[in-house]
Structure 1
């Protein structure tokens, strides 16, 4: 009989305040707003984006009352409690700082910025202003992540040794697409690689980049494989790509067992824990069957965000500011190494 896995520790949606969200951008925001409206008490009340016609359609689709003409109008609106920045990476710094200056809490899509230096600036501004600033690394708030944290803390895997994770896909064959555009923050590491790097950091602590190799196309990193070290002599092998459909799995290996996050590990999927060696059948599995749509799991981070606001926190206890910056440092180093050839 499989051994029991711990139950995920989740925040009840009715235990947090229903914040009023202002949305900048209409890309991934389409999935985020759909998720919070369907599965949480959070509500988007205002939106602004570059394309006025598209923004109006977005607002109508999601029942958002206010379509505002500019970022300045949105962040200064008295009807907005928190600003969700979901624009391309190079715009994150300016827009997050504008929201912070207006006294708003901010959730910034991953990666939080284009560099560790920009990340530090954003997070320092948030602390000084006394507002919550979070990177939207939704993986941290999923049920399977809670189970993994408990399994590791309970010593089921023994002493941790290695984390292996990947996220890669075949990007559109269009060199004008943002993924291939250096000026839009293109490249595998910023868009997809942030997921396995952040995952490894969440398990084995602050990462130090040992080496990075990869390929380049159109002036951006098209693939990268990183070796990094964490605390207690642990190691991480991490891969990302815009030119290969990777398995999108993650594994945590210890002296007494291993845990495998099912694909795609960054969203609601599941976890398999095995005690013993490679030939062991002492295995337990938990699958996330809460949603039919993968990105409906984005609601977990919105509920967590609201709970942290209610508690007066300035950073996420599951994703502290120092860790956000350190992950960006690893990305900075890996990008530099790959682009230098």
Structure 2
């Protein structure tokens, strides 16, 4: 299979929507790997100009509308808080731009469907920025599973627990800004389970909440018709090693901490002996691979790839909706 090298020939021009921490990480990875970052847009011209200066971006826009209308921009990377993704993506798509939308893709499956339907109708790419999917170690893990090396996959176990700011006004703790462990952290293990095992036939979830009314820690079991299970958990006020395992009838894959980053993994046979050890460091942070996938889709005239097609992004949001339903976590977006 063709491997994604995470580089660009620079012909496709990127616009960055939002100027926060994650926007800075993605922009650095783009610039270090040959991508053309043409413009940035923020609701404040000052923060847009500061970001442009910091990252050597030619054009700074004082509104999202101006960024979307910029004829020099082909693709818009959306890095605003979760509740804004839907409106920001629709704005960009309606202006004829492809979009790379930060995860979680939206607040719920309904919003996700509206984005992916609009993109499909316009022949544009709407790719979820689940960067982990496109990393070399994940590509190799899928190959190993497909080859039958660990037999029939019976179980996926994945955690994402971090000790994050406890300030009630912080985005992570604010229900208005889509706070909580699930949307920010849980999206990683949920997406991984669905990557390996597909859409679950049954979801069972529990959580405990913060004083501000978002989920502090959430755990879920995914059940599959064939008998496989996934155990996923997330927490925002306690850290752990954040390892993941894929367990099969003939062996298991142990992904080191933090499994959603570019890290080594080991494949073990049932007796514990080492079948394969994968350790290939990547340049930059690793967010360039998702951008390279978007450029590959655009160049091929395709709107859906195999690694993370739009329908799967919608299925991931639907699983998150079901977890939220069971733990009693609702957001403003659920009311429309």
Could you say whether these structures have the same fold, taking a TM-score greater than 0.5 normalized by the shorter chain as the test?
yes
Alignment match of 2:186 (pick from 193, 197, 200): 193
Q: Secondary structure at the match of 2:217?
A: strand
Deviations 1:71-113 (A, max 9, x none): 1111111100001110000000001001111111010000110
The structural deviation recorded for 1:231 is 5.6
Is it true that 1:172 corresponds to 2:161 in the alignment?
A: no
Between the aligned partners of 1:235 and 1:219, the Cα distance in structure 2 is: 29
- In structure 1, stretches of 5+ residues that fail to align are 1-7
Alignment match of 1:334 (pick from 316, 323, 327): 323
Q: 1:132·1:314 contact (CA, 8 Å) conserved in 2?
A: yes
Q: Secondary structure at the match of 2:138?
A: helix
Q: Secondary structure at the match of 2:164?
A: coil
Between the aligned partners of 1:14 and 1:239, the Cα distance in structure 2 is: 33
Change (3 A) 1:13 1:298: closer
Is it true that 1:281 corresponds to 2:273 in the alignment?
A: yes
Between the aligned partners of 1:14 and 1:337, the Cα distance in structure 2 is: 42
Q: Secondary structure at the match of 1:304?
A: helix
Deviations 1:227-248 (A, max 9, x none): 0124632110000001221321
- In structure 2, stretches of 5+ residues that fail to align are 331-336
Is it true that 1:120 corresponds to 2:109 in the alignment?
A: no
TM-score by length of 2: 0.93
Between the aligned partners of 2:45 and 2:329, the Cα distance in structure 1 is: 40
Between the aligned partners of 1:15 and 1:327, the Cα distance in structure 2 is: 28
Q: 1:47·1:68 contact (CA, 8 Å) conserved in 2?
A: yes
Q: Secondary structure at the match of 1:213?
A: strand
The runs of 4+ residues in structure 1 deviating greater than 6 Å are none
Q: Secondary structure at the match of 2:286?
A: helix
In the alignment, which residue of structure 1 is the partner of 2:227? 233
CA RMSD of aligned residues (A): 1.7
Q: Higher mean Cα deviation, 280-289 or 117-126?
A: 280-289
Between the aligned partners of 1:47 and 1:14, the Cα distance in structure 2 is: 20
The structural deviation recorded for 1:274 is 0.5
Q: 1:157·1:253 contact (CA, 8 Å) conserved in 2?
A: yes
Alignment match of 1:325 (pick from 311, 314, 321): 314
Change (3 A) 1:208 1:184: farther
Count of aligned pairs: 328
The structural deviation recorded for 1:340 is 6.4
Q: 2:5·2:289 contact (CA, 8 Å) conserved in 1?
A: no
Is it true that 1:267 corresponds to 2:261 in the alignment?
A: yes
Between the aligned partners of 1:12 and 1:285, the Cα distance in structure 2 is: 20
After TM superposition, the structure 1 = structure 2 runs for residues 1-341 of structure 1, keeping only pairs within 5 Å, are: 10-12=3-5, 18-27=11-20, 28-39=22-33, 41-217=34-210, 218-230=212-224, 232-277=226-271, 280-291=272-283, 296-339=285-328
Q: 1:206·1:231 contact (CA, 8 Å) conserved in 2?
A: no
Change (3 A) 1:231 1:269: farther
Q: Secondary structure at the match of 1:67?
A: strand
Q: 1:21·1:44 contact (CA, 8 Å) conserved in 2?
A: yes
TM-score by length of 1: 0.92
The structural deviation recorded for 1:164 is 0.2
Q: Secondary structure at the match of 1:172?
A: coil
